[in-house]
Amino acid sequence: MFFVDFAPTTAAPPVTRLPREPPTRWLAIMGIPRLAAVSIAAASSLFTTPVSADKPYHTDHGSYQNGALGDIPTQSFHSSKVKAPVYQVNYWDPDKIDTDSPYMFMAGKYGKWGPSIVSSKDLSLVWADQSYNGLAQVARTWEDWNGHGRVMSSYSDGRVRVYDQNYKQLHVYDGRGDLNGVVPDSHEAALTNDGHILMFLCPARDADLSKVGGPAEGKRIGDCTIQEIVPDTAEVVFEWATSDFFRPEDSVWKYNNEDVWDYCHMNAVEKTEEGNYLISYRQLSCVVLVNGQTKEVMWVMGGKRNTFKDITQNGTGEFGYQHEARMTGKNRFTLFDNHKSDANGWCTEGQCSRGLEIEYNPETMEYWKVNEWYHPQNLISASRGGVQRTPSGNVIVAWGQNPMYTEYTADGELIMDIQRADVKSMEHGVFDVITYRIWKGQWEGNPSWGPSIACAPDDTGRSVYVSWNGATKVDHWVLLMSDDKKDLNGASKVAAQSPRNGFETQFQLDGIAIADYARVAALDKDGNIIGSTPAVDTKTFEVVELDYDIDEVKSVGSKTIDLAIPSSAKVTVPANTKSSDDKDDDKDDDKNTESEAYSSNGPSPWFDLLVGGVGFFVVGPAAFL
């Protein structure tokens, strides 16, 4: 391990405070007439302290690993019902992180299961759908798919789901054709370049198990079967079953008298540019290429029916119990090499899992290691895991049963090492937050619901909180206040603003409510209003639905707010950050509050129900200078 001391992360970017006397000065800067501003000017000094609405990521690896934040370090929020992880940052160099792929797509369980999107820039949660009782394992994006532009696929609660950028579920699929209604396997939720859904299912089928110590009759195997489906018609255009080629005796997995033996354990399938199918099997310990026209097996790499020779000169290209084989070029693919299946957690050199990139020659049937990526802390993962090479050339690795993510530059330099739970030696680790896969990509989230607001007491009095689950265009927030809930619009009602440094932003009222009601507008980087919250009663904390949007936050002809509001906040992690022994007092990993999170459900698209949201920082009127 290589941990060194570093300066603790900051909760918010530096802020220049506004003068407190006279209190109307900063309002005049905004172009607000003094008389019109009387109702809020007297309380202007209340908005001068930047506070973190989210908990910062952890940097003390020892306390995190020893359970100081619990088995699943979690934070909750005032304006949203979703929950988010508290990450342990072991190493992070934000200058080298692939920001061309600014979002990380993953899945897990925080209360309930579901997919989520996390910002690569500050590790704040961007979106989460935490609504499923059943397992959620994968989430990733696809470009220009089936006329819908960029979409996201996920496996959640026994179905393959496809979301558009409004988070509408375009398709929800299980088995079709002869396997109609069969629950898909949770390992995959793939799409194809020709607009199809690609998944696999593992129906139980009769098998002769006499060659593996079982009976010739009366037992069955889980026969993992690929289905490629046309989503609009549900037509199955390709189907291939493992038992069409592999026999029970080809398995490297021990038969233990199961009624249904998981002899193959398919865990990934991808349709290649040539129209063939690249398949990974854990319990056959091999990667296979199946011809998309003839359904014949073109080659097998690894396992008992291996057709290749490893000619790696330095080290080895051999792998075992692997996951997520993905093409990265002509005759080249990556995979997660688990190495073994009977150990998890820390490992000794030579016995560890790794990300692996292989190149092969289909004419000579030879292959060799091109790249490999080990975890800096030496990890072995009993199962799961994934590797992605991003368009920039960076590589990101999910460490399966160990809840860790790492990112490397194209030449192999470690630039990120984070985790969302402690490493355990048991096979499944902390199952709810295993890191089966991770995907980095672009995304433009335009939720059909609006932002959400809450007001709650805090250590200094009370605060207003705002978030917008799934919205990626919010650059900053503007807080409006009034004694009349019908008059929460216009420059004269603006009280403060804050750049968006995450999802939930906190406006601290320092113990005194400026006015009876508060409301917040969301602005994009060009200063356009793109959403507005309901109102919240600053005394009773009740959220009040309104029948009008915010359409003005500056005086006519004034550009003061636009010029005063900074561009998107910079990453707040110091360059070349490494974990330290810095002691965090952040042991209460959940905010308990009596306030509830609401979003309006009125006729405007800004007032649809909000599932939840997460975020990072807050500033007061100091940002107007």
**Could you report the per-residue pLDDT of 452-466, keeping only the tens digit for each?**
999 999 887 899 999
**Using 50, 70 and 90 to split pLDDT, how confident is the model at 476?**
very high
Q: What is the pLDDT of residue 339?
A: 95
Do 381 and 430 meet the contact criterion of CB atoms below 8 Å apart? no
- Return the minimum-mean-pLDDT range out of 441-450, 503-512, 577-586: 577-586
For the stretch 285-300, pLDDT in tens is: 999 999 999 999 999 9
Whether 493 maps to a domain, the answer reads: yes
**Using 50, 70 and 90 to split pLDDT, how confident is the model at 22?**
very low
Whether 589 maps to a domain, the answer reads: no
Q: What is the pLDDT of residue 543?
A: 98
User: What is the number of residues in the chain?
Assistant: 625
Mean pLDDT of 400-429: 92
Q: Which residues contact 486 (CB under 8 A, 6 or more apart)?
A: none
Integer Cα distance of 268 and 432 in angstroms: 20
Mean pLDDT of 30-51: 31
For the stretch 396-408, pLDDT in tens is: 999 999 999 999 9
- pLDDT at residue 576 is higher than 80: no
- The domain of 485 spans 25-57+446-573+594-624
Tell how far CA 167 is from the center of its chain: 14
Peptide bond into 22 cis (omega under 30): yes
Whether 601 maps to a domain, the answer reads: yes
- pLDDT at residue 199 is higher than 50: yes
Residue bearing tokens 């295993």: 434
- pLDDT at residue 471 is higher than 50: yes
Per the structure block, which two tokens stand in for 349? 């050199």
- pLDDT at residue 196 is higher than 60: yes
Phi, psi of 17 (to 5 degrees): -75, 145
Largest CA distance in the chain: 92
Q: What is the pLDDT of residue 601?
A: 32
Do 198 and 190 meet the contact criterion of CB atoms below 8 Å apart? yes
Q: What is the pLDDT of residue 200?
A: 97
**Using 50, 70 and 90 to split pLDDT, how confident is the model at 426?**
confident
Q: Which residues contact 594 (CB under 8 A, 6 or more apart)?
A: 456, 541
Do 157 and 134 meet the contact criterion of CB atoms below 8 Å apart? yes
Element (H, E) at 475: none
Whole-number percent of the chain with pLDDT over 70: 80
CATH of the domain at 472: 2.60.40.10
- pLDDT at residue 596 is higher than 70: no
Per the structure block, which two tokens stand in for 271? 């349709």
Whether 540 maps to a domain, the answer reads: yes
**Using 50, 70 and 90 to split pLDDT, how confident is the model at 36?**
very low
Whether 506 maps to a domain, the answer reads: yes
- pLDDT at residue 145 is higher than 50: yes
- pLDDT at residue 590 is higher than 70: no
Q: What is the pLDDT of residue 132?
A: 96
Whether 139 maps to a domain, the answer reads: no
SS3 603: coil
Whether 102 maps to a domain, the answer reads: no
- pLDDT at residue 5 is higher than 90: no
**Using 50, 70 and 90 to split pLDDT, how confident is the model at 585?**
very low
Q: What is the pLDDT of residue 577?
A: 52
Whether 546 maps to a domain, the answer reads: yes
> How many domains does one find in the chain?
1
Phi, psi of 578 (to 5 degrees): -130, 155
Q: Which residues contact 269 (CB under 8 A, 6 or more apart)?
A: 188, 190, 198, 199, 200, 226, 277, 278, 279, 280
Q: What is the pLDDT of residue 53?
A: 67
Q: Which residues contact 553 (CB under 8 A, 6 or more apart)?
A: 478, 480, 490, 491, 494, 521, 523, 529, 561
